Every structure is written in structure tokens, then in C-alpha cells.
């Protein structure tokens, strides 16, 4: 995974609270192989009418926000289902950072595993950013090392779980790190079976 | 010896400590996973394994269940929709290739993973359990540490039988006192989520406690833990007690004989120490909870059936008012509208929240001898629940009321198998999510208990189940 340090790019407002993963990608699109790209499914039912054309309801389809890499939303972003496809849809659509006052726990973990930064700001700062974006602000800079978001005015601090921060900064893939510990895991499992023999499923 | 041994510990900490393989400098721990459930959505993870040329580390601890995409009608015929069929087939192929036991479409034990696990005795107290499904928190009803994970994590567990986790904070939600008649676990869950918000327990492992929780059946406890994620909790847990033990005893995959007795001793010792501290404590008076329904598009948009939809103009917080305005628009409701004035188009009884035998009995108690005013679907949580309900004659009650009695699966909770609510239609539902489009594009979902869905079916609008239950339970 590519390390994440500093991101400067077009930012897009999404002034909605509790944007759940069902909205980020409706269930019916999840049968698609990832290789075909998930970007076109992002927020599908909020964006497109019955004819498949954008309704213009979201700034996402405003030509001025083309190529947006940063999304700003309200609280409880990514609530609900554990579907990592919600993150695939954001990443495949070009996003590398979502700014919001709170995130669904599983969503935030999934995001980091795909190099997408979930940046937590205060409710006031989120509202301030939404107002500025609505008034025409188009670019933001997100610096993960200093944990700040800069626009024209004062830098806005953001929070991120320190473990998530390390993983993003280093581009770590847990799986590769864990595979190096195979022996340690096998030793644990053997000792654990002695301790908790009842934990093994009985019928096979 | 774990670092926290010796001081008072919570249920969560005791189970956590037993599973730590290693702890990294950054504060994350590598947890050993006792049970891993995979369903159709796991194809991304198996794909990642194939990409890296990795085997499944512990097929003996991995179990496959077909639930999200399985049809609920004409089960013997080939699935007509090619995309849906390929999802079910991919799960069969992946589990077969890696030597994983599959509860597939043709297995008499098939059902929703969170119903099958407890039913088969795969869910046991003190285990760590994961699944690529947020409602894995359900299994916490037994005192297991169970939580949902994403596809990258599913691949990690498949390849290593472990998972890196940062220890969540601990939160205790105590329901003290006694529930009123006609009020149950679903109402308790919606009550605390309405009070604390859909992100109210974010970053926390919840332990449910208090006299009203101890008084719940195992089925009620499963419902309560199931909805932990809807309030933002990482997981929910309830300490094992004699009721837990009697539920587990004799289940197909559970230990037996002397091993069960030894396990039982371990399990009962998992209860939080009396003076163990939590990061947050919430106490709710159980006696004050009324049957609850949702009016909006988040589980926190919930109110007693005796109440009304809110008026955004009278909400102090502008962001919350904006959410309520948008939710009412999507739901087609007027500000301040009485909840019992909301007409419904159909009902659904099913899902990992409320499709166990007790749920079906509660709905049937309302429906017996009555007719549904609207169409509806009843999908039992597992094929074994279906058989039991038929032995008890519940299926006849549903069918005579005019509802469709179908096979088991996630069905209309998520609509992946084609069981959908039409655009603009309003559905009274026992499920867990009233998100926009959850039950189908443009569908409007009101969450409530099985008895309340049955009452809505009879009335053709949202209704209080309590008068309809008089003299019946």
C-alpha cells in the first residue's frame, strides 16, 4: 500500500449526517468483480435518477468538483454494514480522505486498510468547512504528519487513531507483518488448546 | 500471565486477555480467533488469498454459511438471476477448495449466520468470533467477544486465524427494573440508541447488564447484542449465567460431558468482577420503555409508538435538524405527524435481529385468528427454526393471516436475493436498518419488534401491539 503523508486536492461537500455504507454502495452492486471498478456506484441512489443520469442533488456531480480527492461530511459517516465495498467505491472514485465529525468503527478500519484517511474534526469545524465549500472554496490540503487541514484560513486540526496514522504513514499491510509471526501464532494455539480444550468445535 | 491479571476486570477484558498472541508497540494486540464465519460476501477476501497464493490457516475453525443471497422461494430450482447465483456458487467453490464446512442451500441446518452459530453450538461463551458482517455482535449474547470485520480483515483471519485489534473502551449499559408487558429486547435496543445516538457507543465494547437484561431469554439477549452496532458499538456482550449454559448444553458443536462441566466453570468465572471499572456507565429504567418504532432513516430516529415524528423547526442543533428534515422528506412524513397515523404498504418479519422461534411466536400471538390488512413476508432465521415453527403450527397462523411463509435467509432485510420493497413503499420491519434504500431503492423502512410488525400488519398502519396482545401472552 502506498504511504499517505500529505494530500492536496479538490474537495467536495456532502452535507449529510449518517451516510451509511448502504448509501455509499447499494447492496445490488456488490456482485460486481472489483476489477471492473466500483467508483461509478458511489452514492448511486442519491446521485442518479431512474434514467441513470445525475440528478445534480450532490456536489459530487458538479463539474467544478471533478477529480475530487477529499470529501467533507457530517457525523456518523460510514455507519452500518461492514461492506468494504463502500470504501472501494470511494477509493475507485478517486477519494483518499473523508473529513467528518465521526465515523463508523468498521468503516474507519476498512478505510485505512485501503489507504483512505478518515479524518475526525469537531462538529463546528465540519460545519465551517461545509459553509466554505458551499461558498466556492475548492481545494484543501490534508497533512497527516501534522494532523491539520489547511484552506485559506486557520489550519484545522483533525484526529486520527494513532495506529491508523502509523499504518497510513508507512503504507503497512497487516497481513505481510503477521505472516512473519506464523510460529508464534502456532505456539499460542497449541498452548491455548491445553488451556481451553472445550473451545475446539466438537462435531466435524 | 497477562498484564491486567490480578486487578478487577470486566467480562470483555477477561475474554480479550485470554486471546492476546502478541502486543505491538503501537498498542494493538494480535488476537487469536476461535470462530470465523464466511458468507457470500467473502469472495473479495478469498480473491486476495488467491492473489497472494495463501492457504486458509485453520479451516477447522472456519465455517461457511449461505445467507445473504439465497432465495426464499423455489429453493430446489436453479437461481434465475445470474449475478445472485454466482455469489452463492462462489461461496460453495471457495469453501470446497479450502476444506471449509459449508452450511449451504441444500443443508437442513442452513440459515442466517447469526442464528445458525448459536443454534449449532458453534457460538460459545468466552470465544473470539468474527465475520464479515457487522451484526456479528449478536454472538456476544453468550459472553463471546464477537464483532464484524471488513474484507481485508477477513483475508487476514483466513490466512493467519488472528486479527490486529486496538482494545476498545468499555461501556456498561444497565437496564434496571422490569419491562412492562408487551415490551422486549428490540424496544430496549431502540430505546438506548434513540437516547445516545447512532454513534453514541462509537469506539466502545458494550456490556449489557442489570436486572432486565438478566431476565431476558437467550433469544432476547441475541436481539439486544445484535443491535449494538446500530448504536455505534464495536460489540455487545452479556455475562454467561445458568441460562446461557442450559442453552448451550447438548448443541451439536458444543463440548459435552466432563469437558462441558469444565467449560461451564470457566464460563461462569468470566462475569465482570464486582469492582471492575468501565470507561462509561449508562443506566436506563426498564419500566419506562414503551414499544418503539423508527420514523426516520437512522436507528436513532426512534420514538415510542404513542409519540409523533419530530418537528425539525423545533430542534436546537442545526445539523440534527437538517438530518431530521431530510429523513422526513425521504420517509414521506409530515413534521409532528402522529406515529399511529402512518399507513404501511407491507410488512417483513425476518433477519438476524428478529427471526428466531420466540420472535415468530410473538408475531403469531398477535396474528392468530386475525387478518393482515397488507401483504407481507415471514422468513425464519434458519431452516431449523422454520421446521420448529411448522411443528408448532405458527406457519398456519401466518398463512391464514395472509402473509407469505418462505424459506430462511437475510431476505428483505438487505434485499440482495431479490426480496425487495418497491420504491416509495412503506414497510414495517423487524430488521436492524432503516437506512435509505436498505430494503430496496426508495424503500421506506420502519423498525420495530415482531409483535409490533404483526400489529402493523393487522391495522394497516403503525400500531401499538399491547392491546392486541391482551389475554394472549
Instruction: State which residue of chain A sits closest to B68, comparing Cα positions.
Output: A27
> In the sheet that B169-176 helps form, which strands lie side by side, from edge to edge?
B235-237, B204-209, B169-176, B280-285
Note the ipTM here. 0.96
User: Which of B147, B152, B235, B250 to mutate to probe the A interface, most A CBs <10 Å?
Assistant: B152
pLDDT over 90 percentage in chain B? 96
Give the one of A16, A79, A198 whose C-beta lies nearest to B262's C-beta.
A198
Q: Which residues of A, range 29-88, sit inside 8 Å of B by Cβ? A: 30-31, 34, 45-46, 74-76, 79-85, 87
Characterize the bridge pairing of strands B101-103 and B128-131: unpaired
CB A100 within 8 A of CB A74: yes
* Mean pLDDT on B118-129: 98
CA-angle at B120, arms to B115 and B124, nearest 5°: 90
Give the one of A20, A161, A204 whose C-beta lies nearest to B166's C-beta.
A161
Q: How confident is the model at residue A16 (pLDDT cuts 50, 70, 90)?
A: very high
| CA B411 to centroid of chain Cα atoms | 14
**pLDDT recorded at residue A173:** 85
Chain B residues within an 8 Å CB radius of A179: 54, 159-160
DSSP string covering B372-390, please?
-SS-EEE--SBHHHHHHHH
Residue A204 has pLDDT above 70, yes or no: no
On whether any CB of chain B is under 8 Å from the CB of A121, the answer is no
Residue B398: how many CA atoms within 13 Å on its side-chain side? 29
From CA B462, how far away is CA B183, in angstroms rounded?
A: 16
From CA B300, how far away is CA B199, in angstroms rounded?
A: 9
Helices and strands counted in chain A (H then E): 8, 7
- Smallest CA–CA distance, residue A105 to chain B, in Å, is 7
Instruction: State which residue of chain B sits closest to A102, comparing Cα positions.
Output: B199
Q: Do residue B152 and residue A110 have CB atoms under 8 angstroms apart?
A: yes
Q: Which residues of A, range 128-167, sit inside 8 Å of B by Cβ? A: 161-163, 166
Q: Which residues contact B46 (CB under 8 A, 6 or more apart)?
A: B90, B94, B98, B155, B158
Q: Do residue B60 and residue A178 have CB atoms under 8 angstroms apart?
A: no
CB B445 within 8 A of CB B439: yes
Q: Which residues of B, range 208-267, sit inside 8 Å of A by Cβ? A: 229-230, 232, 234, 252-256, 259-260, 262-263, 266
Q: How confident is the model at residue A1 (pLDDT cuts 50, 70, 90)?
A: confident
Q: How confident is the model at residue A152 (pLDDT cuts 50, 70, 90)?
A: low
Burial of B215 per CB tally in 10 Å (0-12, 13-18, 19+): middle
pLDDT digits (tens, 9 = 90+) for A86-143: 999 999 999 999 999 999 999 999 999 999 999 999 999 999 999 999 999 999 999 9
Q: How confident is the model at residue B5 (pLDDT cuts 50, 70, 90)?
A: low
**pLDDT recorded at residue B195:** 97
Residue B70 has pLDDT above 50, yes or no: yes
Q: Do residue A79 and residue B199 have CB atoms under 8 angstroms apart?
A: yes
Give the one of A23, A105, A204 whose C-beta lies nearest to B203's C-beta.
A105
**pLDDT recorded at residue B1:** 42
Q: Do residue B253 and residue A201 have CB atoms under 8 angstroms apart?
A: yes
Q: Do residue B437 and residue A23 have CB atoms under 8 angstroms apart?
A: yes
Q: Which residues of B, range 354-393, sit inside 8 Å of A by Cβ? A: none
Q: Which residues of A, range 6-35, sit inside 8 Å of B by Cβ? A: 15-18, 20, 22-23, 26-28, 30-31, 34
From CA A20, how far away is CA A83, in angstroms rounded?
A: 10
Burial of B265 per CB tally in 10 Å (0-12, 13-18, 19+): exposed
pLDDT digits (tens, 9 = 90+) for B165-221: 999 999 999 999 999 999 999 999 999 999 999 999 999 999 999 999 999 999 999
From CA A84, how far away is CA A106, in angstroms rounded?
A: 9
Q: Helix (H, G, I), strand (E, B), or coil: what is residue B283?
A: strand
Residue B298 has pLDDT above 70, yes or no: yes
Q: Do residue B166 and residue A163 have CB atoms under 8 angstroms apart?
A: yes
Dig out the grid coordinates for A66 from the structure: 471533478
* Mean pLDDT on B110-124: 98
Residue with cell 471492575: B276
pLDDT digits (tens, 9 = 90+) for B412-445: 999 999 999 999 999 999 999 999 999 999 999 9
Amino acid at each position: 500500500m502506498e504511504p499517505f503523508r500529505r494530500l492536496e486536492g479538490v474537495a467536495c461537500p456532502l452535507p449529510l449526517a449518517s451516510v451509511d455504507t448502504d448509501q455509499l454502495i447499494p447492496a445490488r452492486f456488490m456482485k460486481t468483480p472489483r476489477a471492473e471498478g466500483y467508483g461509478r456506484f458511489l452514492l448511486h441512489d442519491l446521485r442518479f435518477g431512474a434514467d441513470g443520469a445525475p440528478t445534480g442533488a450532490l456536489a459530487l456531480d458538479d463539474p467544478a468538483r471533478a477529480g475530487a480527492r477529499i470529501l467533507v461530511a457530517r457525523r456518523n459517516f460510514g455507519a452500518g454494514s461492514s461492506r468494504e465495498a463502500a470504501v472501494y467505491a470511494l477509493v475507485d472514485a478517486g477519494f483518499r480522505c473523508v473529513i467528518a465529525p465521526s465515523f463508523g468503527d468498521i468503516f474507519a478500519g476498512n478505510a485505512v486498510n485501503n489507504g483512505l484517511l478518515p479524518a475526525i474534526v469537531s462538529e463546528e469545524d465540519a460545519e465551517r468547512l461545509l459553509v466554505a465549500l458551499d461558498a466556492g472554496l475548492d481545494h484543501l490540503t490534508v497533512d497527516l504528519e501534522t494532523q491539520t487541514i489547511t484552506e485559506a484560513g486557520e489550519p484545522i486540526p483533525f484526529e486520527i487513531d494513532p495506529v491508523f496514522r502509523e499504518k497510513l504513514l508507512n503504507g503497512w499491510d497487516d497481513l505481510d507483518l503477521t505472516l512473519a509471526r506464523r510460529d508464534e501464532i502456532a505456539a499460542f494455539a497449541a498452548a491455548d488448546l491445553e488451556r481451553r480444550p472445550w473451545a475446539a468445535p466438537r462435531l466435524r | 500471565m497477562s498484564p491486567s491479571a490480578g486487578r478487577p476486570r470486566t467480562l470483555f477484558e477477561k475474554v480479550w486477555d485470554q486471546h492476546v498472541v502478541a502486543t505491538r508497540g503501537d498498542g494493538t494486540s494480535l488476537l487469536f480467533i476461535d470462530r470465523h464465519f464466511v458468507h457470500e460476501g467473502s469472495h473479495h477476501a478469498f480473491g486476495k488469498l488467491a492473489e497472494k497464493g495463501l492457504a486458509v490457516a485453520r479451516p477447522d475453525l472456519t465455517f461457511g454459511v449461505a445467507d445473504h443471497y439465497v432465495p426464499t422461494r423455489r429453493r430446489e430450482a436453479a437461481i434465475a438471476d445470474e449475478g445472485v447465483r454466482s455469489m452463492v456458487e462462489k461461496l460453495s467453490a471457495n469453501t470446497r477448495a479450502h476444506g471449509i464446512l459449508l452450511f449451504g442451500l441444500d443443508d437442513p441446518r442452513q440459515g442466517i449466520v447469526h442464528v445458525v452459530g448459536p443454534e449449532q453450538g458453534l457460538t460459545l461463551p468466552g470465544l473470539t468470533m468474527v465475520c464479515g458482517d457487522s451484526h456479528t455482535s449478536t454472538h456476544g449474547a453468550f459472553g463471546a467477544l464477537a464483532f464484524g470485520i471488513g474484507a481485508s480483515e477477513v483475508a487476514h483471519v483466513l490466512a493467519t486465524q488472528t486479527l490486529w485489534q486496538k482494545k476498545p473502551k468499555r461501556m456498561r449499559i444497565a437496564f434496571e427494573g422490569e419491562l412492562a408487558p408487551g415490551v422486549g429486547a428490540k424496544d430496549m435496543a431502540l430505546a438506548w440508541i434513540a437516547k445516545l445516538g447512532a454513534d453514541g457507543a462509537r469506539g466502545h465494547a458494550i456490556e449489557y447488564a442489570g436486572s432486565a437484561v438478566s431476565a431476558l431469554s437467550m433469544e432476547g439477549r441475541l436481539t439486544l447484542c445484535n443491535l449494538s452496532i446500530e448504536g455505534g458499538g464495536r460489540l455487545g456482550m452479556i455475562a454467561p449465567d445458568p441460562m446461557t449454559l442450559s442453552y448451550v448444553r447438548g448443541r451439536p458443536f458444543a463440548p459435552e460431558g466432563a469437558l462441558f462441566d469444565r467449560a461451564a466453570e470457566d464460563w461462569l468465572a468470566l462475569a465482570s468482577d464486582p469492582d471492575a471499572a468501565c470507561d462509561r456507565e449508562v443506566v436506563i429504567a426498564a419500566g419506562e420503555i414503551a414499544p418503539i418504532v423508527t420514523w426516520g432513516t437512522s436507528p436513532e430516529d426512534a420514538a415510542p409508538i404513542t409519540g409523533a415524528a419530530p418537528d425539525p423547526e423545533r430542534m436546537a442543533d442545526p445539523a440534527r435538524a437538517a438530518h431530521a428534515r431530510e429523513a422526513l422528506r425521504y420517509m414521506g412524513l409530515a413534521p409532528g405527524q402522529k406515529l399511529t397515523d402512518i399507513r404501511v404498504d407491507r410488512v417483513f418479519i425476518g433477519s438476524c435481529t428478529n427471526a428466531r422461534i420466540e420472535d415468530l411466536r410473538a408475531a403469531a400471538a398477535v396474528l392468530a385468528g386475525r387478518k393482515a390488512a397488507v401483504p407481507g413476508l415471514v422468513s425464519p432465521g434458519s431452516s431449523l427454526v422454520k421446521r420448529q415453527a411448522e411443528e408448532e403450527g405458527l406457519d398456519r397462523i401466518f398463512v391464514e393471516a395472509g402473509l407469505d411463509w418462505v424459506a430462511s435467509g437475510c431476505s428483505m432485510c438487505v434485499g440482495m436475493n431479490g426480496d425487495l420493497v418497491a420504491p416509495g413503499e412503506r414497510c414495517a420491519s423487524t430488521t436492524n436498518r432503516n437506512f435509505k434504500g436498505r430494503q430496496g431503492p426508495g424503500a421506506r423502512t420502519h423498525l420495530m419488534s415482531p409483535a409490533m410488525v404483526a400489529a402493523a400488519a393487522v391495522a394497516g398502519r403503525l400500531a401499538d401491539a399491547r392491546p392486541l396482545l391482551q389475554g394472549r401472552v
